[in-house]
């Protein structure tokens, strides 16, 4: 894809992913314009100190707006070629306690993005999803599952128009705002870190890897896919030892809506998923899908499981510390 001729809008653009995307896009791909769309004017003001929009030839613009506001989305998407939909309420406890708000942003907000993109003639829309959307046990995961479903089906609503929708789905992001890595770093100051269950495992990806994966999938997508990267796993207790090697670990019990292990593919999806060059591609089961799409993909074996405790790629403590930008552990700490 020729980024130099593309105008890109990113919802939730002041979040961890959004800021990293802006940084990497402007440095490496140099799109014609990047529109940061978010509801927090303070965070936009803080981003301006790094990426100024005051000059007429500046490639960046800031739009204050909420994905719940369809009219504002319609205005923001005029002349846009690519949309990356990263806006979401994603804190599991907050979504459990404020379910209507989670639905308004994660489901109805996604519907607004779909409607506005189709009517504005946007070419490609790629949305960020999560492993928690697979067999969800909490409201956040359930709203992201619905978001995936309506985005994929959004291709039917586009009809003969050029607009195409796809999703990327990946695991926990090292260093993102509110991640357990940040929690452990803060708790380390007290000499004790808390883990909910010693059996717990998770998939891990860095912000840079997430942005690279999104940019790659935008170039590859036909519309309708859910792209899943191959990711390493790590036990949360090992993560705690890597981030806070000199601290005591206290087991506090699993929280409502929390899984012991996460999956990136459901059992039913395996039947229409192919493996391709470092990723898995979940193909839609709709009549509009091109039967020749991803013909070079390799079908998965019957009974294939992609769950964080069944992974064949595991992180060491130093692997995680490299990902998080932390010093490597000494021999005494290992």
Strands 164-170 and 124-130: parallel
Q: Are 161 and 293 in contact (CB under 8 A)?
A: no
- Rounded CA-CA distance 148/134 in Å is 10
| Helices 207-220, 16-24: inter-axial angle, 10-degree rounding | 70
Query: Any alpha helices (H) in 77-206, and if so which ranges?
Result: 92-97, 99-103, 109-120, 139-158, 180-187
What H or E segment, with its residue span, contains residue 38? strand 33-38
| Helices 236-243, 180-187: inter-axial angle, 10-degree rounding | 50
Identify whether 70 is a catalytic site residue: no
Q: Show Cβ contacts of residue 28 under 8 Å, excluding neighbours closer than 6 positions.
A: none
Positive or negative, the CA dihedral 32, 25, 75, 110 is: positive
Lookup: tokens for 250? 């206290």
Q: Which of 19, 20, 90, 132 is catalytic?
A: 132
Q: Are 87 and 105 in contact (CB under 8 A)?
A: yes
Give the residue numbers marked as catalytic: 132
């Amino acid at each position: 894809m020729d980024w130099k001729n593309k105008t890109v809008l990113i919802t939730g653009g002041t979040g961890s992913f959004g800021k990293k995307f802006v940084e990497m896009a402007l440095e490496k791909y140099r799109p014609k314009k990047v529109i940061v769309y978010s509801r927090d004017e303070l965070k936009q003001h803080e981003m301006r100190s790094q990426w100024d929009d005051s000059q007429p030839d500046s490639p960046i613009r800031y739009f204050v707006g909420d994905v719940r506001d369809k009219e504002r989305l319609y205005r923001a998407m005029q002349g846009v070629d690519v949309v990356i939909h990263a806006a979401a309420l994603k804190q599991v406890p907050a979504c459990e306690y404020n379910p209507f708000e989670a639905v308004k942003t994660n489901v109805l907000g996604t519907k607004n993005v779909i409607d506005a993109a189709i009517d504005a003639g946007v070419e490609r829309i790629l949305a960020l999803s999560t492993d928690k959307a697979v067999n969800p046990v909490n409201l956040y995961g359930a709203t992201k599952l619905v978001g995936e479903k309506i985005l994929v089906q959004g291709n039917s609503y586009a009809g003969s128009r050029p607009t195409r929708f796809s999703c990327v789905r990946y695991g926990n992001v090292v260093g993102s705002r509110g991640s357990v890595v940040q929690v452990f770093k803060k708790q380390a100051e007290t000499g004790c870190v808390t883990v909910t269950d010693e059996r717990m495992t998770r998939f891990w990806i860095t912000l840079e890897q997430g942005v690279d994966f999104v940019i790659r999938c935008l170039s590859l997508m036909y519309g309708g896919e859910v792209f899943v990267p191959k990711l390493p796993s790590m036990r949360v207790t090992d993560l705690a030892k890597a981030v806070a090697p000199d601290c005591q670990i206290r087991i506090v019990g699993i929280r409502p809506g929390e899984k012991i292990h996460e999956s990136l593919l459901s059992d039913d999806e395996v039947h229409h998923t192919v493996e391709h060059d470092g990723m898995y591609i979940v193909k839609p089961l709709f009549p509009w899908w091109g039967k020749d799409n991803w013909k070079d993909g390799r079908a998965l074996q019957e009974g294939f499981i992609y769950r964080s405790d069944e992974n064949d790629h595991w992180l060491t403590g130093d692997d995680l510390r490299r990902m998080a930008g932390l010093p490597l552990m000494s021999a005494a700490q290992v």
